[in-house]
A and B are shown apart, each in its own frame.
Chain A
Amino acid sequence: MAQIRNNFSEWINQQVGTTSTFAFSDALRTPSLSRLAAGVFPTRKDEEWKYTPLSNLLDTSPAEDTSAALDLESIEGLKQAMPDAHTIVFVNGEYSADYSDKLEHLGSSGLSISHLSQLEGNALQLAEDTILESTLTDDNIFQHIALGLSQNGLFIEVEKNVESETPLHIIHVSTAHGVSAFTNPVNVIRLAENSHLKIVEQYASIGEAAVITVPAGYIQLDDGAGLDYYRVSIENAETNHVCNTSVRVSGSGTFKSHQYLLGSKLTRSNLEVGFTGPGGEAVLRGVYLGDENQHLDVRTYLDHAQPHCSSDQHFRGILNGQARGVFNGLVLVREQAQKTDAQQSNKNLLLSRDARVDTKPQLEIFADDVKCAHGATVGELDSDALFYLQSRGIDKKDAALMLTRAFAAEVTQEIDIASLQAYVQSKIAASLDEIVTPNV
Chain B
Amino acid sequence: MLSIKNLQVSVEEKPILKGLNLEVKPGEIHAIMGPNGSGKSTLAHVLSGREGYSVDSGSAHYKGLDLLDMAPEIRAREGMFLAFQYPIEIPGVNNTSFLKKALNEIRKHRGEEELDAIDFLGLIKQQMKLVEMKADLLKRPVNQGFSGGEKKRNEILQMAVLNPTLAILDETDSGLDIDALRIVAGGVNKLRSADNAFVVITHYQRLLDYIVPDFVHVLSDGQIIKSGTKELALELEERGYDWLIEKAESQV
Contacts and interface: CB of A to CB of B under 8 A. Distances in A.
Contact of B72 (A391, A407, A409, A410): A391
B101 A384 contact: no
Contacts of A385: 88, 90
A406 B50 CA distance: 23
Contact of B98 (A384, A389, A396, A410): A389
Chain A contact residues: helix, strand, loop or mixed: helix
A8 interface: no
Given A387-B50, A393-B102, A402 B93 contact: yes
A217 to B, nearest CB: 30
Given A387-B50, A391-B48, A403-B93, A396 B88 contact: no
A335 interface: no
Residue of B72, B101, B103, B158 with most chain A CB atoms under a 10 A cut-off: B72
A413 B139 CA distance: 14
Residue of A382, A388, A403 with most chain B CB atoms under a 10 A cut-off: A388
Contacts of B26: none
B90 A393 contact: no
Interface in B66-125: 71-73, 75-77, 81-82, 84, 87-88, 90-93, 98-99, 101-103, 105-106, 109
A388 B92 contact: no
Contacts of A391: 48-50, 72-73, 75-76, 81-82, 84
Contacts of A405: 92
A392 B162 contact: yes
Contacts of A403: 90, 92-93
A369 interface: no
Contact of B106 (A393, A396, A407): A393
B91 A393 contact: no
Given A387-B88, A393-B103, 5 more contacts: A383-B51, A385-B88, A391-B72, A392-B158, A410-B92
Interface of B: 48-51, 71-73, 75-77, 81-82, 84, 87-88, 90-93, 98-99, 101-103, 105-106, 109, 141-142, 158, 162
22 contacts: A382-B88, A385-B88, A387-B51, A387-B72, A387-B88, A388-B87, A389-B90, A389-B102, A390-B76, A391-B50, A391-B75, A391-B81, A391-B84, A392-B76, A394-B73, A396-B71, A398-B101, A403-B90, A403-B93, A405-B92, A406-B90, A406-B92
